[in-house]
Amino acid sequence: MSKQRIAVAVDGPAGAGKSSISKVVAKKLGYLYIDTGAMYRAVTWAVLQKGITPTDEAAVTALLPTLTLRLEPTDEAFTVFVNGDDVTEAIRSQAVNQAVSQIASIKAVRQFLVAQQRAMATSGGVILDGRDIGSVVLPKAELKIYLTASVDARAKRRWLETKDKETISLEDIKASVMARDEMDTNRKESPLVCVPEAIVVNSDNLTFDETVERMIQLITDAEK
Ligand code: DC
């Protein structure tokens, strides 16, 4: 009998490798991968593009009903659309990096996106990554993984991924990773938490491929 494909929640701090790892794991297992951080980034992009101040919660909230987000899977990952505009690259800009934690702390934004995330996850055979997947979005997920690494390792990885290394130093990236940790962990709405039932994977001493293997093992063990 074939195994039951499950819902997998992957949470953890910025730069732990959640999305790059989850993407590969999902592809290998034929699961659907949903990067919920990309959805918060897409809303942030729209806020900035409209010239709205990210701390203006009323204006951000009023913008939400005008936004249609779409994640379209591709061979490599997925394309992100906001009202039909391809924002896949734009949501990784430093301007979005700096404003996204503020936008993600707004209750109306979270309600707007969590409803869409739950709707996308109904079919099973999904990996969602974010900060509140195991705690809020999919509290009944069959498997919860908390993927983490030290601040130094995470900053180094983000820096290596940054296209424009000349204009941003490793120190600046580290400061921004720490600032995001602080906001994501201490915010009132759905803070980043490691729920007790989550399996912690620390990737400090694991290579990319080893982390992928570990996650595949956890998922195949959890499939009934
Ligand atoms: O994973 P990421 O760095 O792309 O996430 C961008 C921001 O979105 C991050 O600062 C925290 C927020 N986020 C969140 O609050 N809840 C999620 N489920 C996913 C991301």
Taking the CA of residue 40 as reference, the ligand 1 atom at the shortest distance is 8
List, for residues 84-136, the tens digit of each pLDDT value.
Answer: 999 999 999 989 988 999 999 999 999 999 999 999 998 889 999 999 999 99
Task: Kindly report the protein residue whose alpha carbon is nearest to atom 9 of ligand 1.
Answer: 101
Task: Kindly report the protein residue whose alpha carbon is nearest to atom 8 of ligand 1.
Answer: 37
* Whether the CB of 41 sits within 6 Å of ligand 1: yes
Instruction: Please give, one letter per residue, the 3-state secondary structure of 185-209.
Output: HHCCCCCCCCCCCCEEEECCCCCHH
**Section 168-179 average pLDDT:** 90
Tell me how far apart the alpha carbons of residues 37 and 28 are, in angstroms, rounded to a whole number: 21
Tell me, in angstroms, the distance from the centre of ligand 1 to residue 81's CA.
17
Q: What is the pLDDT at residue 77?
A: 80
Helix axes 107-120, 94-104, angle to 10 degrees: 100
Domains of the chain, each with CATH number or no CATH: 7-222 (3.40.50.300)
Tell me, in angstroms, the distance from the centre of ligand 1 to residue 193's CA.
13
Task: Kindly report the protein residue whose alpha carbon is nearest to atom 15 of ligand 1.
Answer: 104
60, pLDDT greater than 60: yes
* Whether the CB of 11 sits within 6 Å of ligand 1: no
* Whether the CB of 191 sits within 6 Å of ligand 1: no
140, pLDDT greater than 60: yes
1, pLDDT greater than 60: no
* Whether the CB of 14 sits within 6 Å of ligand 1: yes
The mean of the pLDDT values for the chain is 93
With vertex at residue 110, the alpha carbon angle to CA 14 and CA 172, rounded to the nearest 5 degrees, is 25
pTM of this prediction?
0.91
Q: What is the pLDDT at residue 74?
A: 84
Percent of the chain clearing pLDDT 70 (strictly above): 98
Q: How confident is the model at residue 215 (pLDDT cuts 50, 70, 90)?
A: very high
Alpha carbon dihedral 156, 160, 162, 164, in 10-degree steps, equals: 110
39, pLDDT greater than 60: yes
**Section 12-17 average pLDDT:** 90
Taking the CA of residue 137 as reference, the ligand 1 atom at the shortest distance is 18
